[in-house]
Chains A and B, each alone.
Chain A
Amino acid sequence: MAGYVLRRLLAAIPVLAIVAVLVFLMLRLTPGDPAAVIAGDNASSEQIALVRRTLGLDQSLPAQFAIWAGNLLHGNLGESFFFKKSIGELILGRIEPTLSLAAATMLIAVCVAIPLGVVAAYRHGSWLDRIVMGVSVLGFSVPVFVIGYLLIYVFSITLGWFPVQGYQPLADGLGGYLHRLVLPATTLSVVYIALIARMTRASVLEVLNEDYIRTARAKGQVERKILFRHALKNAAVPIVTVVGIGIALLIGGVVVTESVFAIPGLGRLTVDAVLARDYPTIQALILMFSGVYVLINLLIDLTYSLFDPRIRH
């Protein structure tokens, strides 16, 4: 197992190196000049050139890459062009809201979607199944910002139960932290509930036709145990994959929800950095998101053996 993990981690190094080169080149080839953005509206050509020189953007691309890669190898993500703060510090300041949102979203999604999917599979073809699948299609189809605005209108503006926007760090109190997390997490969870419920239904349905389920029933096992102990466990591999990829997506891609609910997470940092052409910050974030994908994929692979002992690493 340890050898497998080590091999996978080593295999991630060339992946991350390729991502680093691609991100670096793509940013430089994209229209836009951070120096012009930073210098401001009234800046003269000389002032813009001076800012460019200060940021090191007047150097050749290989030289710029060498400096960045060298710093990276020393564990230094660099300093943001725009925020004038160390990027490590910026990311650390933004990671809690994003992780909290991702965790809460997945918690809601898993708790709601898996029972729904199992029940839909068990009642295959019934009105309950059709309702669950119909709602899933709706969950997929409605954009997240529409769901967000609807929930805000109902639960914040009309009923006044939850705040419209904002995030409260956990350190400032669990109550406020949870209170402000409910609406954004519920908003985001809708699409994952739809996805996981459909996947669960399909997997469980397939397993329910297996011989060992028939055997369990023949032995007089109660349906609840058949469903959750035998069927669900054996249907778990694709569900875990979807949940894992969902977590990775949530860490890197909750831009709209973070913007709608004014949550200062990594998604908004990415957008701010892109709009400001803050090259070092964008590079660091994309590299970090790639690393998260690699790690989560590894974790997903490792969990397979928990559900299916036939899978060995």
Chain B
Amino acid sequence: MAFRRSVLGLVAASAALLAPVGAPAQTLKAVMHSDVKIVDPIWTTAYIVRNHGYMIYDTLFALDAKGEVKPQMVDTYTVSPDTLTYTFTLRDGLLWHDGKPVTAEDCVASIKRWAARDSLGQKLMTFVEGMSADDAKRFTVKLKSPTGLLLFGLAKPSSNVPFMMPKRVAETDPNQQISDFTGSGPFVMKTDEWKPGDRIVYTKFKDYKPRPEPASGLAGGKVVKLDRVEWLAISDQQQAVNALLAGEIDLIEQPAYDLIPLLKGDDGVKLVDYNPLGFQYAMRPNHLIKPFDNPKVRQAMTYALNQTDFLQAVVGDPDYYKPCKALFVCGSPLATDKGMDGLLESNFAKSKQLLKEAGYDGTPIVLLQSTDLQTLTNLGPVAKQLLEKGGFKVDMQSSDWQTVVSRRARKDPVDKGGWNLMNTSWVSADILNPVMSSFMNMSCDKAPFGWPCDAEMEKLRDDFAREVDPGKQKAIAEAVQVRWREVVPYIPLGQFYIPIAARKNITGILTAAAPVFWNVEKKK
């Protein structure tokens, strides 16, 4: 009898021990595209840090679902008749996570730090004469000459986003990372629970005051319907999908394409196309060294390549890709096909002809291929095959992405570790106009890796920055695209989309340029 009691007791104790630990109500567990290791969204352009920024920080302006600039932290703003003075008034009730009020001084300091790091911010600052806080809630920006960049810049949706930080934080050297993660956004970062390589945790900021308008894109009322959000670092995509199917997690930001059929076949899971502009692939030549220092050789590539081959090789499912020749993204206000006729159609004869005219001597071009990023790996072999058909000789050199990142920063000749060609991808929201688009920057040494150089293109980009009329901006964007055909700073390889995979009880995922968690609800 005593033995039986002991056994029963042991079984009961084991059952109690093995009972799942209860999670707080309305906790959403998500697997994002990467782990959060750096938490300064001004210091780095990494998209995962941008997403983190949207959790804990707020912005002065934001783009709504139609791509229009809307006030966010700003209540009202006025523009002087000469369009040189902008005065912004902050909304009532804005608080930092430590309970202190958001002030105009905080915003001025935040804009300065952002502008020191961000390429659009740097361009914007060439127009700014000065910024000052008029009182606790009002600040003024004075311009040297009119520009359409100010409001758009403050609403910039993707990296680097001009997030507002307390003045004491924003005064951190822009080249150093911040160590104080106080924001005024709808969620609070739980620094005590942040374990890089494991998880980052956010809780609802109870004192956040959303705008009264309904949420739209990154604008409108940021109403938080979750108590807690956990981003779990699951590096194995198959495991992330298994966890979603088993209901252990609620959402995967970027499921792998080859696992999407598995998700489509499960009744408990749905796929949400949250980012209508998607992403774009791009091929970047190194303009500093032969043969791509010759524009004719770069033009030859625009004839040899076609986008569909790349998109089929990487994405596969036509539901999630679209050939798109528009440099400023198909579906955006500046989308145009102008100047693109006959290009990106794999006209190998024309490519060979241009190479002959350019005097290309058949020296192999070094193509950097990343082997560990599923969304990039297959671009390399397709590029090699198409370029070789177009008359190039290609030496594809494979390595992990971080080695590609390190190597592409080198200006050396290829025999000393340099490179000729590499592939990457952009969030489309990063390339919506000629000034934002980093690869359109042709300011020689000041341009990003590849270092293209063209004074005419720079003049067009400056013209765009000065223009405030949307119609005239579009005309300049078309002129940029026509000039692009001549100088070919990079080659777009097509537009693609990655849906969010979520359990069916997750609702309210917003259509926006970045995945955000306000408005999201976890139903029982």
Contacts and interface: CB of A to CB of B under 8 A. Distances in A.
Interface of A: 31-33, 36-45, 47-48, 50-51, 54, 82-85, 90, 93-94, 149, 152, 156-157, 160, 163-168, 172-176, 178-179, 259-262, 264, 268-269, 272, 275-277
Contact of B18 (A32, A44, A179): A179
Contacts of A275: 372, 400, 402
Given A260-B239, A264-B195, A268-B235, A45 B411 contact: yes
Given A43-B448, A262-B243, 11 more contacts: A40-B159, A84-B38, A160-B246, A164-B239, A165-B239, A167-B198, A176-B20, A176-B21, A178-B18, A179-B20, A259-B236
20 contacts: A36-B406, A38-B38, A40-B44, A41-B45, A42-B438, A45-B409, A50-B175, A54-B176, A83-B196, A84-B179, A93-B195, A157-B242, A168-B21, A173-B21, A176-B20, A178-B18, A262-B232, A272-B35, A275-B402, A277-B402
The 5 closest A-B pairs by CB, nearest first: A175-B17, A264-B198, A33-B406, A40-B45, A262-B234
A169 B192 CA distance: 15
A142 B114 CA distance: 52
A8 B52 CA distance: 49
A37 B18 contact: no
A176 B23 CA distance: 12
A268 B44 contact: no
Contacts of A156: 242, 246
Interface string B214-244: 0000000000000000001111101100110
B242 to A, nearest CB: 5
Contact of A42 (B119, B403, B406): B119
Nearest to B445: A45
Contacts of A163: 246, 248
B246 A272 contact: no
A32 B400 CA distance: 9
Contact of A276 (B37, B238, B243, B445): B37
A157 B38 contact: no
B45 A262 contact: no
Given A36-B409, A156-B242, A276-B37, A259 B235 contact: yes
A259 B197 CA distance: 10
A48 B372 CA distance: 23
B37 A165 contact: no
B332 interface: no
A37 B404 CA distance: 9
Contacts of B37: 82-83, 272, 276
B446 A44 contact: yes
Contacts of B46: 40-41
A166 B45 contact: no
A298 B246 CA distance: 45
Given A42-B438, A42-B448, A83-B196, A165 B248 contact: yes
B19 interface: yes
Interface in B317-375: 372
A167 B195 CA distance: 12
B16 interface: yes
Interface string B171-198: 0000111010000000000000001111
A23 to B, nearest CB: 18
B399 interface: yes
B294 interface: no
Nearest to A265: B197
Contacts of B408: 36
Given A32-B403, A36-B409, A42-B159, A264 B233 contact: yes
Contacts of B446: 44
Counting chain A CB atoms within 10 Å of each CB, the highest count among B236, B400, B407, B411 belongs to: B236
B403 A174 contact: no
A272 B46 CA distance: 16
B405 interface: yes
A261 B38 CA distance: 23
A156 B449 CA distance: 46
A272 B246 CA distance: 27
Interface string B27-67: 00000000101100000111000000000000000000000
B373 to A, nearest CB: 11
A179 B14 CA distance: 11
Contacts of A174: 17
B212 to A, nearest CB: 35
Contacts of B18: 175, 178-179
B302 to A, nearest CB: 23
Nearest to A276: B402
A83 B246 CA distance: 31
